[in-house]
Chain A
Amino acid sequence: MPDGPAPAPAVQKLRLRYAKRGRLRFSSHRDFQRALERALRRAAVPMAYSAGFTPHPKVSYANSAPTGTASEAEYVELSVTERCDPEAVREALDRSLPPGLDVLQVVEADAGSLADRLEASEWKIVLPGVTRAAATAALEQLMARDAVEVERLFKNGPRRFDARGAVVHARVEDVDQDDCAILQVVVRHTTPAVRPDDVLAALRVVAQLVPPSPPQVTRLAQGPLSDAGTVTDPLATVDAGGA
């Protein structure tokens, strides 16, 4: 074992919501990890470290958006060794991270796991060069099915899975734009995770919908799924009684 005293214990957990915007949407999950850990050091946040030969700051990452996808709702949890004012941490970290990785909210963690609360995501998918009518028809066909198999390349090879079951609901936004259609899709988190790409692959399967240029995808929200099928705030205080 290494010499020296045991690492200082964590006294507080902070939950953080951040956005991945603009060109920074091309950062991968690992890119963000590196950036955050360095920003924490620059901002002198009193991080708790794991024990052992190569101590790591205690940060829990949950369910990050794919590389190339923008997001308004990414979440991590930090453990600190001194009590901190959440707003002061938000401000310091936001200043320390590059513009485009923006810290939107920091709250003190309450009971229960953050990861467990991230039940579903709401995605906005902009399809340049696709008409509203074509998008609407394709979505109707998708939702009429019980299951639509798609294929994606995983680490251990291509794998086929259902991309329809996880889609809670989907609609085409009611804005008149000639040059693009905008989809709003709520997807339940499953294993394997159904990503916006998979939903688009399913649209290709059911309706041969192929956007002429790359879609722009943004995660708008991530959190508990309400009975009405909407995604709610995972940082909202949970009633002790569980209502």
Chain B
Amino acid sequence: MPVESVFPRLEPLLARVSKPIQYVGGELNSTVKEWDDATVRWALMYPDAYEVGVSNQGSMILYEVLNEQPDVLAERTYSVWPDLEALMREHGVPQFTVDAHRPVGAFDVLGISFSTELGYTNLLTALDLAGIPLHAVDRTDADPVVIAGGHAAFNPEPIADFVDAAVLGDGEQAVLEITDVIRRWKAEGRPGGRGELLLRLAKTGGVYVPRFYDVEYLPDGRIKRVVPNRAGVPWRVSKHTVMDLDAWPYPKKPLVPLAESVHERMSVEIFRGCTRGCRFCQAGMITRPVRERSITGIGEMVERGLAATGFEEVGLLSLSSADHSEIADVTKGLADRYEGTNTSLSLPSTRVDAFNIDLAGELSRGGRRSGLTFAPEGGSERLRRVINKMVSEDDLIRTVAAAYSAGWRQVKLYFMCGLPTETDDDVLAIAGMATRVIAKGREVSGRKDIRCTVSIGGFVPKPHTPFQWAPQLDAETTDARLAKLRDAIRADKSYGKAIGFRYHDGKPGIVEGLLSRGDRRVGRVIEAVWRDGGRFDGWSEHFSYGRWMAAAEVAFADEPVDVDWYTTRERDFTEVLPWDHLDSGLDKDWLWEDWQDALSEVEVDDCRWTPCFDCGVCPQMGTEIQVGPTGKTLLPLTVAR
């Protein structure tokens, strides 16, 4: 039976909300299929505002991969702003997809991609608006299966009560495998209902179904053990890894929204994974190994994507784009190809070395050289050894000298505050570094108008990293340390005005920390915050620290744990971590050794260029490093008019 569009009921409400265009769909390259022609129907959600979600590369890839299947339909849904949420509740309009404005509750699957834990309250809003029971145990066969993915899904325990399942790692093959299981189960007449379907998904070994695992606690609040409560359910659930990126050239036709979005450009992922080994970086740890897209594969994606979208800018996306084995040929080849077409190229993440200045020069051929961003992450050399970010201060000064000599006027430096073993002195060293940067810039450029911006964020320890055992720095100390740094920068009159300072207070980081390393008990806090009106926690104008703390106070009243226990407490090796039964491939012994190396200030190389360090991922997951060079080049295009 066809499902009716809610648009006629939504339309009168749109005249009364801000930026209504975000709710109407119809983006270029979007897909609307007939409901009745599909066997398996996915609603894909990015739990943030449309302007953020529509640019999300992962969601775009899954949307296209699923819609390429003849009997599968996939539509997108995003978080609605509170103004529309209120009107939808008043007029009984359910959470809808933007493609065909179908009610989310009518789909087989609701897949939600969490880039950050701060989207959890938005999950609850969407479930509630969709008419789907908040708690997975209350759902019936008529409700969609709610599946979480994205980086935050590597520890889905805080949302274990609200999701039916979680998938770790790369999604493009995983969604097809899940689709297969559902397709077969439906063809058999849905034997055993929802419970049987979830069991079949769990038995694949690649889908985590929280309800099939019991968590037992020790009297002191730590976890005693996590055990499967059903036969055939694996003890540990594995992450998914796509090999051969050239075989997965998605998105082939990126979405082009009418509404303004955070990325007004097309992105081409040039490789996935990173083995630089920065110890704070969850993305670098959970996406191993490195898998490069070939230079010719990149060229084809850029060419096809531009023709399909009309974007003026192409971003070459990855965790550390300058590390592609053929990045020089890629950038030069693309710059040659698109010279004179008003198409610009960008490399979102740049390393601190002079090679990057050449790359950046190639990318800004003939254009304005406004600003370059580098991320030393830690202020002192000692701290950079702790986090395994192998950049010396002299490297940085040489790099910025090259940048200022090549015509750049502004350099942005990114740091973190609250890293393990950090003291005030480590952070105050940032002021000295910024001063040297300005002095060097003035010297090599002979100009007074050069600038340096110091941008600093609070460090949050993440699961599946060597810092998963580390104590998080409390908000008060973070704020005090940042205030000292600000004063130190301002104190030097001859440089202070040339140095910009941007920072965030430590409070949101504590909530992120609670959600990142939380267990199932944290779910009660999330629900209480949401019931109290918590929405869009990633947005400072909506975030309320007081609300989170008050909710935690109540939720943990009868438990031997509190917010500090989850955040500022150091764990030891023997503690069962809430995500130990979820396998990112990283060997826990290796992570612990790397944590001990961090404390001893010992650095570890990148396994792309040195022998293996036995992090465990490749043998555990049956994967391998895939890097060039291929030795191929990009040929000039003959532009067809």
Contact = CB atoms under 8 A, between A and B. Distances in A.
Interface of A: 2-4, 23-24, 26-28, 30-32, 34-35, 37-42, 44, 49, 53-55, 57, 67-68, 96, 98-100, 213-214
B20 A67 contact: yes
B641 A68 contact: no
A214 B368 contact: no
Given A2-B366, A39-B310, A98-B258, A27 B342 contact: no
Contacts of B116: none
A214 B16 contact: yes
Contact of A30 (B7, B20, B260, B311): B260
Interface stretch (B21-29, B142-150, B207-215, B526-534): B21-29
Given A31-B259, A98-B258, 7 more contacts: A2-B368, A24-B26, A31-B258, A31-B260, A37-B312, A213-B12, A214-B16
B26 A53 contact: no
Contacts of B11: 23
Most chain B C-beta atoms within 10 Å of own C-beta, residue among A4, A38, A49, A213: A38
Of B15, B28, B256, B260, most A-chain CB atoms within 10 Å: B15
A23 B26 contact: yes
A68 B368 contact: no
B342 A49 contact: yes
Nearest to A46: B641
Contact of B641 (A24, A35, A38, A44): A44
B247 interface: no
Closest 10 CB pairs of A and B: A38-B310, A53-B368, A41-B310, A42-B310, A26-B20, A214-B15, A23-B24, A31-B258, A3-B366, A4-B366
Interface string B311-338: 1100000000000000000000000000
Q: Which of B16, B24, B25 counts the most A-chain CB atoms under 10 A from its CB?
A: B24
Interface string B1-45: 000000100011011100111011111100000000000000000
A182 to B, nearest CB: 17
A35 B20 contact: no
Contacts of B641: 44
Nearest to A68: B15
A28 B259 CA distance: 8
B557 interface: no
Contact of A34 (B14, B260, B307): B260
A24 B28 contact: no
B309 interface: yes
A4 B335 CA distance: 14
B23 to A, nearest CB: 8
A54 to B, nearest CB: 7
B309 A42 contact: yes
Contacts of A34: 258, 260, 264
Contact of B367 (A2, A30, A38, A214): A2
B312 A41 contact: yes
Contacts of A96: 310
B409 to A, nearest CB: 12
Contacts of A26: 14, 20-21, 23-24
Contacts of A41: 310-312
B7, B27, B258, B264: residue with the most chain A Cβ atoms closer than 10 Å: B258
B20 A68 contact: yes
A32 B258 CA distance: 7
Contacts of A27: 21, 258-259
Nearest to B7: A23
Nearest to A7: B342
6 contacts: A23-B24, A31-B259, A35-B258, A42-B307, A49-B342, A99-B26
A24 B27 CA distance: 10
A68 B14 contact: yes
Contacts of A98: 26-28, 258
Nearest to B258: A31
Nearest to A69: B15
A100 B26 contact: yes
A40 B258 contact: no
B21 A28 contact: yes
B309 A38 contact: yes
Contacts of B19: 28
Interface in B253-271: 256, 258-260, 264
Nearest to B10: A23
A99 B641 CA distance: 24
Contacts of B26: 23-24, 98-100
Nearest to B256: A38
Nearest to B13: A214
B127 to A, nearest CB: 26
A99 B20 CA distance: 17
Interface in B74-99: none
A37 B11 CA distance: 27
A49 B343 CA distance: 12
A235 to B, nearest CB: 25
